[in-house]
Amino acid sequence: MDKKEMEYLTRSQGNTRTKRRKEDKMNRVLNYLIALVSALIVISLFIIFTMQDDDEVVEEAQTEETSSGTENESSSVVDETEETTKEPSNMDDPVAEEEETELATEEEEELETDQGSNVVNASDNPLVDEVWTSETWQPYATAQTGEHRSTFDTNHIDYQEKLGAIYSVIPINEQEGIIWSVKNNGNAQSAIAVISSNDKVQKYRVAIEWVEQQGWKPIQVEVLNTLDGTY
């Protein structure tokens, strides 16, 4: 082998080694890139799956809340329906109706009992519808001592006790009544008053008399049909 062939062979071997080194370097670079891409793919897939899991958790929570709200609303509707249906059932129940009727009757009887001790008589007076009297009426307890003196001074205790006796036998209290007159009824130991409700629907004329050491006692109540000419 001559010199030229040796030189050629040397160059060829050098080129081959250089080419191999370049190829090895390219392969390493490609391997790095492949590894990097693979890592990126794995990371991307992990992120995607994680986000999907979070979304599913959120959707499940929202679904549970919606279901819970729907159940509560349904329960409320059922409760209201039950309450609504209960009332008509009582109204349609003959036993319940009979009990309500008996209760109403008892209340009426109690009311009648309150006035039941009164003796009710008709009146010849065209201004009077009826007259009440009662043996159970008691004197309005007096706080006065010493010799009694009847007075119509509105600030005097005797006048206040007169009103107490009058209101004790009529279905009006002092806050609901209008006093049209309180005056002597023929002597110093008697008095008579005309009183109505504020709306003037109820109208009464009440006679009272003084009972020594006890107080003013109601004697008679006239149920008036008018206030004109009654005081």
In terms of domains, do 68 and 130 share one? no
Q: Is the C-alpha dihedral spanning 75, 80, 83, 88 positive or negative?
A: negative
pLDDT score of 227: 96
**pLDDT tens-digit series, residues 21-41:** 777 788 888 888 898 888 889
In terms of domains, do 218 and 125 share one? yes
Q: Is the C-alpha dihedral spanning 181, 182, 187, 188 positive or negative?
A: negative
pLDDT score of 24: 79
In terms of domains, do 73 and 156 share one? no
Q: Is residue 214 part of a domain?
A: yes
Q: Mean pLDDT highest for which of 72-81, 82-91, 150-159?
A: 150-159
More confident call, 227 vs 27 = 227
In terms of domains, do 76 and 33 share one? yes
pLDDT score of 89: 43
In terms of domains, do 75 and 148 share one? no
pTM: 0.51
* Exposure class string for 59-71: b at 16+ Cβ within 10 A, else e: eeeeeeeeeeeee
In terms of domains, do 27 and 61 share one? yes
Q: Is residue 122 part of a domain?
A: yes
DSSP count for the chain of H helices, then E strands? 3, 7
**Range of 138's domain?**
118-224
Q: Is residue 110 part of a domain?
A: no
Contact criterion met (CB below 8 Å) for 217 and 165: yes
Query: What is the total count of domains within the chain?
Result: 2
In terms of domains, do 214 and 127 share one? yes
